[in-house]
Amino acid sequence: MKNWVSATIKRLFSLRPLEGILRWVISYTGTDNFLIHLVPTNDMYPGGKLREVTIDGLTYKLDLASFNNWSIYWRITAELRPKNFLYDLVKEDDIIIDVGAHIGEVSMNMARKATRGKIYAIEGFPPTYERLVGHITANSFENIIPIQTGVGESVYHAEFSVNERNAGSNTIARSGGKSKTGIEINMLDNILEPYELNKIDLIKIDIEGFEVNALKGARGVISSFKPRLFVEMSDHTLRKQGTSAAELYHTIKKLGYTSVIDIRTSSPLNENSTFDNMHTDILAAF
């Protein structure tokens, strides 16, 4: 009975007038209060419908049935702190590679700071890439270069496993999967070659367990430019792709990085760190 009442109240707040009031109140009070329990969950919204909204001065078209889009809309996510940490790293003239740009939230926020630099926003999943380009255009960003390709350690054709309720967790399919879409995989070294870059300041990678593969295909640019790395480290999603958080750490160290920091704890990682079940974002530097 209690669950039914809670769900009913949440559904009421999915109605536009009440939803607008709740978002307005939360925007002023923050998410650390009881109001957060009134927010309708993403599965209470109809799928496939895009809602045009402005958040922090940026225009988005969001599918609130998709968890990733929903979390942008409601600003209810554990990723806010690491994202803000990332944005604070960005300097005015930085050249940044965003591997796994999704619909462009992170790329656009970095581009607002790198006003004399460039963001190379890489997204492989075709429908998501189209929305990325749409957001870049709608917000008139001239310093974001969208690139449509998957990123890995070699060149091949793969299948993309699609999560209808969380587009942010779409990933390269190893086997099984209900819904799949073809995608071309390429090495970051190859992808960036035509742009004739003379520096890379930062590479951000968040590609649902494929981070190790992406780094192995980026040996050339990492050796040449020694960029800082901002990488999602999720042991769970990495193991789905046949690797692990420990392997990701060792891969980064083999590339020559001397400092690897767990952003959520602000602590350095080392050989003795507990990588099993770790879920964090890391910053690596030479």
Looking at every residue in the chain, the average pLDDT score rounds to 92
- 131/175 same-domain check: yes
- 47/84 same-domain check: no
Task: Decide which of 11, 44, 74 is a domain's last residue.
Answer: 74
pTM for the full model? Answer: 0.92
Cβ partners under 8 Å of residue 169, min gap 6: 67, 68, 163, 208, 237
- 95/26 same-domain check: no
Q: What value does the mean pLDDT take over residues 244-270?
A: 98
Choice between 244 and 35, residue whose per-residue pLDDT is larger = 244
- 170/234 same-domain check: yes
- 140/257 same-domain check: yes
**pLDDT at 30 (0 to 100):** 74
Task: Decide which of 74, 107, 137 is a domain's last residue.
Answer: 74
CATH number of the domain where residue 181 is located: 3.40.50.150
- 19/122 same-domain check: no
- 28/147 same-domain check: no
- 132/262 same-domain check: yes
| Residue 92, domain extent | 80-285
Per the structure, the count of domains in the chain is: 2
Task: Decide which of 74, 104, 132 is a domain's last residue.
Answer: 74
**pLDDT at 29 (0 to 100):** 81
- 166/132 same-domain check: yes
- 40/129 same-domain check: no
In the predicted model, is pLDDT for residue 65 greater than 80? yes
- 96/186 same-domain check: yes
- 24/110 same-domain check: no
Q: What value does the mean pLDDT take over residues 221-245?
A: 98
